Each structure stands twice: as C-alpha cells, then as structure tokens.
Amino acid sequence: MKKDFMFTSESVTEGHPDKLCDQISDAIVDHFLRRDPFSRVITECAVSTSIVFISARFQSDAIVDFTKIARQVIKQVGYEQADFNAKTCSIMTSLKELPSKIDRHWDEKKLSEAEIERIPVNDQVTVFGFACNQTPVMMPLPIWLAHQLARRLADVRINNILPYLAPDGKTQVGVEYKDRRPDRIHSITLIASQNQSLMENAPDLKQVQKDLKETVIDFVFQNEEIKPDEKTRILIDSDDPFAVGGPSAHSGLTGRKNAIDTYGEYSRHSGAALSGKDPTRIDRIGAYAARYAAKNIVAAGLADECEVQLSYSVGLSRPVSIQVETFGTGKISDEEIRARLEENFDFRLAGIIRQFNLRLLPSIFKGGFYRKLAVYGQVGRMDIGLLPWEITDKVPVLQG
C-alpha cells in the first residue's frame, strides 16, 4: 500500500450540464415524494444546445409537471443565455406511467421486523461507503477542498461579486500525501465560464485570474490547516479564458459524476447513478447506508480510514456480502469490525428507509431534499442540515 503519493479530485458547480441534469432529475423525485411518499420513480435527463430530454418511469398517485420543474431548475441555476435558457429551450419527454401496485404502499414505520425481512431489493448492486480522519467531516481532503472551491465559485456569481461569471464551472485540487496523511497542496485548478451577454466588457485573462484567486481560492483556504505554498501550481482559466460553458458548449447527462457525488475517486464507488431515484432503489440508499457505517467506524476510533462494501442480490432483503477494509489503519481486525457492523446496523431496504426517514425528507426540507444532494456531493455534507447518514450515533455500540 502506498504511503507517499499525490491525489487529485474535481468538483463542478450547479451550472455544469451533468449536474444540471442531476438537479432536474432529483427535483422531479422531490415533487413526487412530497405529493405521494410511496411513489416509485426513476428519471433521467440529458441536455444540449437549446434542448432538454427527460425520461421517466413511475408509479404514483401524484400528478407532476415534468416540463415546469425542468424550467424552474434551469432558471434557478442561472441560465439566461440566448442559446440556452428556461424560457426558450425545447423540452422533450418520454414518460411511462406504470400500473400502480398496492404492495408499493408499505409503511416501514408500521412493519414488524419479520415483515421488514420479507421486503426484498429489486436491484443487484455493490455499493461502497468510505470515511477517513483527514477532515472534520471525515472525507478525503482533495474532494472536500474541490467542493469548497466549487461552492464558493458559485457564490461569487450568485452574489454578484464577479458579475461576469456564468453558471458553469470546474475545480480540481491535488494533495500530496506522506505516510497516507495530507502534507501539502500540490495544485489548484479553476475553470469559470463567462456570461455571453457581457463578453464585450469582459475583463482580460490576468484580471480574471486575479479576481478568482482573491475571491475564491484565498477565501476558501483562509481557514484551512494546509494552505497553498510557493510551489503550489495554481491554474485559473488557463484552457479557454472566454469559454461560455453550459449545455451549448458540452452536453450533460444524469449520473455521470459519480465520483463527485461520493469520494472524488479516493475510494471506490458504484457505477450506478445516485440521482433520479426514489428511496426504494437500493443502489442509491445503500450507498448512504455504507457511508453511515464507515463514518461511525472512524468516529468510534476503530480505524483512521474505512471502506465498507455492501453487495445486494435481487429478491433478498439483506446484503449477501458485507466487507470492511481499513487499509492497515484498524485498531482491531477488519473481520471484528465487520462482525460489529452486522450486529448493530440494519442494511435491509426497508430498515434503511425507516432509519433515515427517506420518504418524508422532501416534505421536511424547504425547497426539496434530493435536489440539494445533486450538487457538491451526496455524502460528507454539512451545509444542508445534518444528513441522517452523517450522524455518528452508533459510536458507543461499535466501541463495545
């Protein structure tokens, strides 16, 4: 296992076409669940120049206006350019309403343990959860910093600090490790698109670089323990300083940014998309349960790093395999940690929904819930309230 290495992770703003698709898909999920918490829905979205395509299959008593939701998201994200905006873009839909089944109305809060045991998953998937002690939220430092930069990049646009910025933006942070601990910032990259309507009065590249370093990079790192040094490579809009970005420049698709949604590829993640799926999809909520387990293991002091793997098969309620890897940092054996997980965690489909209250969160959170997860990571978040899979309430039982 490597001790000294350099690792990079990237993030993107809410205006990135892939993330725009994730937000539209999850906004649709929110609307279904607010009106009918027992809705079953899978929705995917694609965007390109002047066009949005939405595909969905659903069982629900709710009536949802897919086109209206998509236009609302596009407007809120900030797209007002002539070639892509909420008012004039064409929206195509391929919708299939499936026959509503009585068995979809099971309420996990009212079921006995035996009844929960009889509710199987309908998908086959292997999901991963990860946690480490590199940051206060127990996320790898590269993806944590990349998210902070991306969020700040969006903030300076939304708050009109840099009015010439457009919604699409990308960030990347490289961190050098020594003995598997973050040691220094190797590199920082910022790519920010610019508002097409202001191009005639746009600042030159040097001014853009100065503005973004001061308002984004310096702002984010002012309270970080590890800061850029004189050898840190800082690249700002070095590729195309006048790129407009957005769907007219590159197309987008739901579920194409799984690494950004999870651990920045520092740890493994499932190939299945997280966004656009209701809580009965184990390929989504299983990833949350695995993160919950890994974070509690690290918080309990049983390891400095931990990856939890859950494998599910169609027709069974429990994972067919639970694996733990602590990369040589465990204070007890990985097998003992796995045994404690099996004893104290409920990884059954209905059990996860019950513990995390996943059907009702869109009604509890103002402005929806799943859409907020669709950008800046679906794990390790502390900016939208304490997510149920980020709670470390299992520490006492894990410590024994």
238 pLDDT tier (thresholds 50, 70, 90): low
- List the domain range (segments joined by +) for residue 285: 125-134+255-361+375-399
Question: Same structural domain for residues 214 and 169?
Answer: yes
CA 365 distance to own-chain centroid: 17
Which of 147, 160, 168 is CA-nearest to residue 215?
160
- The model's pLDDT over 285-339, given as tens digits with 9 standing for 90+, comes to 999 999 999 999 999 999 999 999 999 999 999 999 999 999 999 999 999 999 9
Question: Same structural domain for residues 233 and 299?
Answer: no
Last-in-domain residue among 246, 273, 297: 246
Question: Residues of 353-367 as b/e, b for ≥16 C-beta within 10 angstroms?
Answer: bbbbebbbbbeeeee
Question: Same structural domain for residues 190 and 314?
Answer: no
343 Cβ contact partners less than 8 Å away, ≥ 6 residues apart: none
Amino acid letter, residue 182: P
Which of 285, 291, 294 is CA-nearest to residue 262?
291
Q: 16 and 247 in contact (C-beta within 8 Å)?
A: no
Output the domain CATH number for residue 201: 3.30.300.10
Pairing of strands 51-59, 90-97: parallel
pLDDT at res. 245: 86
Question: Same structural domain for residues 146 and 198?
Answer: yes
Cα separation values, 170 from 58, 208, 274, 331, Å = 33, 15, 20, 38
Q: Which residue has the tokens 């997860």?
A: 373
Strands of 117-214 (E only): list them.
Answer: 125-132, 165-178, 181-194
pLDDT at res. 400: 82
CA 76 distance to own-chain centroid: 19
pLDDT at 1 over 80: no
Which of 173, 144, 169 is CA-nearest to residue 232?
173
- CA separation for the pair 263, 277 (Å, rounded): 20
205 pLDDT tier (thresholds 50, 70, 90): confident
User: Which ranges of 162-241 would DSSP assign to H, the alpha helix?
Assistant: 205-212, 218-221
33 token code pair:
């669940």
Last-in-domain residue among 188, 213, 246: 246
Question: Same structural domain for residues 233 and 270?
Answer: no
Cα separation values, 89 from 70, 106, 140, 246, Å = 10, 39, 38, 13
Question: Same structural domain for residues 164 and 230?
Answer: yes
Question: Same structural domain for residues 200 and 180?
Answer: yes
pLDDT at 271 over 60: yes
Question: Same structural domain for residues 344 and 312?
Answer: yes
Cα separation values, 384 from 81, 221, 273, 357, Å = 29, 21, 21, 16
- The model's pLDDT over 4-42, given as tens digits with 9 standing for 90+, comes to 999 999 999 999 999 999 999 999 999 999 999 999 999
340 Cβ contact partners less than 8 Å away, ≥ 6 residues apart: 397, 398, 400
Residue 110 included in any domain:
no
**Which of 1-5, 101-105, 197-201, 239-243 comes out lowest in average pLDDT?**
239-243
Question: Same structural domain for residues 229 and 351?
Answer: no
Pairing of strands 51-59, 305-312: unpaired
- The model's pLDDT over 116-168, given as tens digits with 9 standing for 90+, comes to 999 999 999 999 999 999 999 999 999 999 999 999 999 999 999 999 999 99
Question: Same structural domain for residues 224 and 352?
Answer: no
Question: Same structural domain for residues 324 and 295?
Answer: yes
**Strand order in 233-236's β-sheet?**
5-12, 165-178, 181-194, 233-236
Q: 223 and 268 in contact (C-beta within 8 Å)?
A: no
110 pLDDT tier (thresholds 50, 70, 90): very high
Question: Same structural domain for residues 354 and 320?
Answer: yes
Domain count, the chain: 2
Residue 271 included in any domain:
yes
Last-in-domain residue among 246, 278, 311: 246
143 Cβ contact partners less than 8 Å away, ≥ 6 residues apart: 9, 11, 260, 263, 264, 266, 377, 380
